[in-house]
Amino acid sequence: MNIQQSMTVRGKDRYKSGVMEYKRMGYWEPNYEPKDTDVIALFRVTPQDGVDPTEACAAVAGESSTATWTVVWTDRLTAAEKYRAKCYRVDPVPNSPGSYFAYIAYDLDLFEPGSISNLTASIIGNVFGFKPLKALRLEDMRLPVAYVKTFQGPATGIVVERERLDKFGRPLLGATVKPKLGLSGRNYGRVVYEALKGGLDFTKDDENINSQPFMHWRERFLYCMEAVNRAQAATGEIKGTYLNVTAATMEDMYERAEFAHELGSNIVMIDLVIGYTAIQSMAKWARKNDMILHLHRAGHSTYTRQRSHGVSFRLIAKWMRLAGVDHIHAGTVVGKLEGDPNTTRGYYDICREDFNPMQLEHGVFFDQNWASLNKLMPVASGGIHAGQMHQLLDLLGEDVVLQFGGGTIGHPRGIQAGATANRVALEAMILARNEGRDYVHEGPEILAKAAQTCTPLREALDVWKDVTFNYESTDAPDFVPTPSMAV
Amino acid sequence: MTQAQEQISETPLQTIDLRHEFADLGIGDVLDQLDSELIGLKPVKTRIREIASLLLVERIRQKMALATTFPTLHMSFTGNPGTGKTTVALRMAGILHKLGFVRRGHVISVTRDDLVGQYIGHTAPKTKEILKKAMGGVLFIDEAYYLYRPENERDYGQEAIEILLQIMEAQREDLVVILAGYGDRMEKFFQSNPGFRSRIAHHIDFPDYSDGELLWIAELMLQQQNYRFSPEAREAFTRYIGIRKEQPLFSNARSIRNALDRIRLRQANRIVAKLDRTLTADDVMSIEAGDVLASRVFAKGAGEGR
Amino acid sequence: MRVTQGCFSFLPDLTDEQIAAQVQYCLDKGWAVNIEFTDDPHPRNTYWDMWGLPMFDLRDAAGIMKELADCRRVYGDRYIRISGFDSGHGWESVRISFIVNRPREEPGFRLDRSEAAGRNLRYATHSYAADRPEGERYADQ
Ligand SMILES: Nc1ncnc2c1ncn2[C@@H]1O[C@H](COP(=O)(O)OP(=O)(O)O)[C@@H](O)[C@H]1O
Ligand SMILES: [Mg+2]
């Protein structure tokens, strides 16, 4: 890495049979200047002991593009130099001996237009099991505008979602029906009705609510829609419930989605585990059927959580914005699930901005232009409650769904009271923020004041006043390491 | 509510450190700026200092819960064109804002055509639109007397006047109106519209500038743009002022500004006419006598100051 | 019942001072402010009637509060809402919206169900207010 020059073998020797180092095959090109149309990937590479870091990074470029373990003459039937991914920069990771950031550029022709499956099959296809590496993590990608434009993007987007729901200027409120498993359709609908009537905008199926012996999917859909319509008439406000259509086959999913549509639902839900192709199919279906598409990121932590190996969640967020979902769970910072504040800010920016400037302290390694692709609504869910409203608003902003599952259903005076507590806390905080008050510091006072005219809020504040989740984050940015927010 | 009013709701204060209050508000800076940026205008500057003092005391009285009503702040600025009325209105808005008597401190400057419509039903929305834009700041109505056209009995100006009067009374806390124009015509206007006169708290008269002040203004304007007269050019410009003043459509400092614009043009032409040379900063800063003397003002029988 | 559309329906009705603060927030963001009224608050009734055009380029809330007062004088028996509109790229939509006036009695909505094939139901939300002709809906208040 000190000698920043190409080691690529040129001429006849390049294609002599046998094994050749990747860095000599053309996968290490320190003088390469990425084109505007290149896809750029940033990997965290941890080579096995004794493996030359440059060679390891070149191997990642090779294995995620054209190379195999030996020289093949058939390369000469192609414009091989164009198709070879080029590692053009290798930096040691700060405070992390033995790990390196490898910047690799890929020509746009390597990828099928509008296909996340194809994109990921290349970039994270084989290479993560490559033996000379101890660990490998995909940290970020720069997607060229030319490629972004081949994707549909969010079926509905934040702006149109708000217009359809007639809800502006505040985060949306939701709750996941609890207990996760075991409720019958009739009981399940009761929870939905109470929560929506009490003041939430949405309720939500959990990721593993599909069609089980205690509640088959049609029962759930029918009772839920009765609840939604009743709550809508009781409040004069548009309401919704994310009906999870995740199923074993695409045919089953379409059948469930069609039924939700027939019943007048405005939103359906899928789980990340259904796979990228199925997600893109559902996004197309949602666009065609005026349906908001909620994605639960079920399963992501198996590969996103550890800093050394896997895929950063920021890539999942990027891919899902391209793929076309409208909602994605992106962390809460203060709740029960993993989430460093700066890293989480990076995820939210990826979902919501039209342009992301490079911002290393948020883990955003590249400028990313979204070329007016719809904005993706982040969802904050897991272990949050009304008493944190000022922090949530400060950390997550206004374009977000705040999901208070336990924080609604666990209210001592019932679900409606829980929902009302959350809604009043939220409205009071927005009011104060817009009035120019220092709501972050005065948050507890603002809530206490609002509780004077809202008993449910006072009870909620009393019950959950001491609940916090303070653990060290496992995925903080490398450039400004910070522990999880202490609240 | 204005800042000044908000203070009332707090517990009334017993004592106030005057110097501290004065420094805190930063009106000293605005007044000093007025002094240094505007040449002459002695009586105007004195009046503005008086008004600022009055309002400072008013503010203190509010803090002590001694003020009973919100003061009327509407003003009339009379004087010939180019005597600095618009410029002073901008400074006035700044002072009122710093003292908390207007919330935003912007100035919306209008004439009759911005307020009065062409047909029935056109005027009220136009006037209201302007008033809404000016809320929180100062509405500056130049040549205000054109609003009133007694010769035309069905003139829509009357409608604008009524709306204005109503707002000037009812929303004193939201808006300060400054009426501006020639002294004699304003006087006639007030005679026929006593409603305006009674709502105006401060009348300020802007005198014409002396020749010396006009030269001084010219030098100040040049200096702000990094130009300067050569001694011969200064002498020529002094003559220019003397002649120009006697010609029609003379409008004090504005005529000076316009003359300087044309002089700069001639200077540039003169410089570019000789391409084969190296220029110094001095060359491009200096205005020469020829740049001034080429003015048509010096040609006998010339009309407007070209 | 209480229609809970808009940003602040769960709080006690806003005072004029509170409304002015929200309006000022919109103006400080550079949004146009619009006053709308209706006598049919059906949740899918998107187009309330406009009280004049949206107000662009204002600096201070006082002008809008004056319009609101005028609107209330004429339509004080109906729902009135204020919204802030952002013409910025990527939004070009409403950014905040809240109710500032309500009829004294809010009659609410009836949910009509009609049975369809199997256990399916077709739902319709019906405004009680709309049972009367437009313009007379809250007349006896
Ligand atoms: N006393 C002064 N000193 C410096 N410049 C002045 C002075 N009075 C007026 N000006 C300049 O002359 C021009 C016209 O002034 P303005 O305030 O518009 O006059 P009015 O409103 O009385 O017609 C402006 O460019 C202003 O800066
Ligand atoms: Mg003027």
Beta bridge mates, C25? none
Rounded to whole angstroms, the Cα distance separating A241 from A260 reads 10
By CA distance, what is B172's nearest residue in C?
A: C62
Q: Which string of b and e fits A367-398 if b means at least 16 CB within 10 Å?
A: ebbbbebbbbbbbbbbbbbbbbbbbbbbbbee
Chains within contact range of chain A (3+ C-beta pairs < 8 Å): C
Q: Which residues of A touch C43 (CB under 8 A)?
A: 166, 232, 236-238
Instruction: Determine whether A296 is an active site residue.
Output: yes
Distance CA A388, CA A390 (A): 6
CA distance C92 to chain A (A): 8
Classify the C-alpha dihedral A306-A308-A309-A311 as positive or negative: positive
How confident is the model at residue B71, as a pLDDT? Answer: 87
Interface of C with B (CB under 8 A): 17, 52, 55, 57-64, 66-67
B53 or A434: whose pLDDT is higher? A434
Read off the pLDDT of residues C41-53 as tens digits, 9 standing for 90 and up. 999 999 999 999 9
Tell which one of B41, B140, B254, B261 to mutate to probe ligand 1, the residue whose CB is within 8 A of the most ligand atoms. B254
Buried b (16+ CB within 10 A) or exposed e, A53-72: bbbbbbbbbbbbbbbeeebe
Structure tokens at A238: 């548009």
Average pLDDT over residues B77-89: 94
Residue C136: band (very low, low, confident or very high) from pLDDT cuts 50, 70, 90 = confident
Q: What pLDDT, in 10s, does the model give residues B11-29?
A: 777 888 888 888 888 888 8
Looking at the CA of B142, name the nearest ligand: 2
Question: To the nearest whole angstrom, how far is the Cα of A236 from the nearest Cα of chain C?
Answer: 5
Q: How many residues does chain A have?
A: 487
Contacts of B132 in chain C (CB under 8 A): 55, 58, 63-64, 66-67
Task: Pick the residue from chain A with its C-alpha nearest to C97.
Answer: A168
Q: Distance between CA B147 and CA A66 in Å, rounded? A: 80
Contacts of B220 (CB under 8 A, 6+ apart): B39
Per-residue pLDDT band for B303 (boundaries 50, 70, 90) equals very low
pLDDT tens, position by position, B238-277: 999 999 999 999 999 999 999 999 999 999 999 999 888 8
CB atoms closer than 10 angstroms to residue B261: 10
Number of Cβ within 10 Å of residue B43's Cβ equals 12
d(CA B66, CA B59): 10
Residue type, B166: Q
Rounded average pLDDT over A6-32? 85
Other C-beta atoms lying within 10 Å of the C-beta of residue A98: 15
Beta bridge partners of B110: B141
Instruction: Give A252: exposed, middle or buried? Use CB within 10 Å, 0-12, 13-18, 19+.
Output: middle
A74 or A135, which is more confident? A135
Nearest CA in chain C to B174: C62
Percentage, residues of chain C above pLDDT 70: 98
Determine the distance in angstroms separating the CA of C26 from the nearest CA of chain A, rounded to an integer: 9
How much is the mean pLDDT over chain A?
Answer: 92
CA–centroid distance, A462 to ligand 2, in Å, is: 63
Q: What is the pLDDT of residues B177-215, one digit of tens each?
A: 999 999 999 999 999 999 999 999 999 999 999 999 999
pLDDT at B3 over 50: no
Across the interface, of B1, B106, B131, the residue whose CB is closest to C63 is B131
- Per-residue pLDDT band at A483 (split at 50, 70, 90): very low
**Nearest ligand, CA of residue B41?**
1
Q: Is B84's C-beta closer than 6 angstroms to any atom of ligand 1?
A: yes
Which atom of ligand 1 lies nearest, measured to the CA of B80? 22
CB pairs B-C closer than 8 Å: 36
Asked if the model's pLDDT at residue B44 lies above 90, the reply is yes
pLDDT value, residue B8: 47
Contact B72, B199 (CB under 8 A): yes
pLDDT of residue A75: 82
Judge if the upstream peptide bond of residue B150 is cis by omega within 30 degrees of 0. no
Q: What angle do CA A178, A184, A188 make, to 5 degrees?
A: 45
Does B302 contact C at CB distance below 8 Å?
no
Annotated active-site residue A284? The verdict is no
* Closest Cα in chain C, distance from residue B103 (Å): 8
Judged by its nearest atom, the ligand closest to the C-alpha of residue B111 is 2
Q: Give the integer Cα–Cα distance in Å for A395 and A341.
A: 8
Q: What is the pLDDT of residues A20-67, one digit of tens each?
A: 888 888 899 999 999 999 999 999 999 999 999 999 999 999 999 988
pLDDT band at A3 (very low <50, low <70, confident <90, very high): low
Cβ contacts of residue A146 below 8 Å, gap of 6+? A36, A37, A108
Query: How many Cβ atoms from other residues are within 10 Å of residue B28's Cβ?
Result: 12
Q: What is the mean pLDDT of residues A412-421?
A: 95
The per-residue pLDDT for B304 is 44
* Selection from B80, B113, B38, B92 nearest residue B201 by Cα: B92
Instruction: Render pLDDT for A247-291 as a digit per residue (tens, 0 to 9).
Output: 999 999 999 999 999 999 999 999 999 999 999 999 999 999 999
Q: How many helices (H) and strands (E) does chain A have?
A: 18, 15
**CB spacing of B136 vs C55 below 8 angstroms:** no
Residue B4: what pLDDT?
45
Q: How many CA atoms lie within 13 A of B172 on its CB side?
A: 13
Q: H helices of C1-141, where?
A: 16-28, 62-75
Domains and CATH numbers, chain C: 16-106 (3.30.190.10)
- Six-digit token string for B151: 């010769």
**Nearest atom of ligand 1 to the alpha carbon of B40:** 1
Q: Which is it for strands B75-79 and B107-110: parallel, antiparallel or unpaired?
A: unpaired
